[in-house]
Amino acid sequence: MQIEKDKVVTFHYTLAALDGAELESSLDSEPTVYLHGQGGMLWPVQQALLGKQAGDKIEVELTPAQAYGEKKEDAITRIPIKHLMVKNKKKLRKGQIVKVNTKDGGKNVTVVKVGKFNVDVDTNHPFAGVALKYNIEILEVRDAQAEELSHGHVHGVGGHQH
């Protein structure tokens, strides 16, 4: 079965900067599962996956503009520590990537400075300004269930749980 809109795709990936530094990988954990064509994946990666099938391996290189944008130097802001979505707020450290609670849900930020009640964070995506390379191995392609289509995301193992 080929990847097309509204197919559920399961894959393993390794994400690296173009200089070769590995940034993320699913190889030592559960594979990634997403509903193709529903916006849960960077658009150029979705386009590269279109028409592929289980067993295929692809490599996708992205410019910063295609990925998470250019780094904005004025993106440092001070927020109360209580707005961070972390288990242990007492062990925050510079350079740590954490989620902050926003009106649109959790957003990844990078800790710049830790105070007693507030934290300075860089609100750029952690990979902003970085040219990226994805290495992807497609494990499975299946039809989405009606409930997944109506919700716009995958349910069950590797997907969203209600």
- Of 126, 89, 1, 15, the C-alpha closest to 53 is 1
Report the alpha-carbon distance of residue 50 to residue 63 in Å, rounded: 19
CATH number where 19 lies: 3.10.50.40
CA 128 to mean position of chain CA atoms: 12
pLDDT at position 103 is 82
For residues 11 and 64, state if they share a domain.
Answer: yes
Element (H, E) at 43: helix 43-49
The burial of 128, by beta-carbon neighbours within 10 Å (0-12 exposed, 13-18 middle, 19 or more buried), is given as middle
Range of the domain at 106: 76-122
Residue 100 lies in a domain: yes
Domain shared by 11 and 63, yes or no? yes
Residue 157 resides in a domain: no
pLDDT of residue 160: 54
Tens-binned pLDDT, residue by residue, of the chain (162 aa)? 999 999 999 999 999 999 999 999 999 999 999 999 988 889 999 999 999 999 999 999 999 999 999 999 999 999 998 888 888 777 899 999 888 888 877 888 899 999 999 999 999 988 999 999 999 999 999 999 999 999 888 876 555 544
Same domain, 92 and 117: yes
Verify that 103 and 141 share a domain, yes or no: no
pTM of the complete model: 0.79
The pLDDT assigned to 161 comes to: 47
Shared domain check, 133 and 64: yes
Is the residue at 2 inside a domain? no
What's the structural domain count of the chain?
2
Tell me, yes or no, whether 161 lies in a domain: no
Q: Quick one: pLDDT at residue 157?
A: 59
On whether residue 38 sits in a domain, the answer given is: yes
| Strand runs labelled E in the chain | 7-17, 22-25, 32-35, 57-62, 76-80, 97-102, 105-114, 118-122, 132-143
**135/113 same-domain check:** no
Co-location of 62 and 12 in the same domain: yes
- Same structural domain for residues 41 and 11? yes
Do 133 and 61 reside in the same domain of the chain? yes
Do 42 and 113 have their domain in common? no
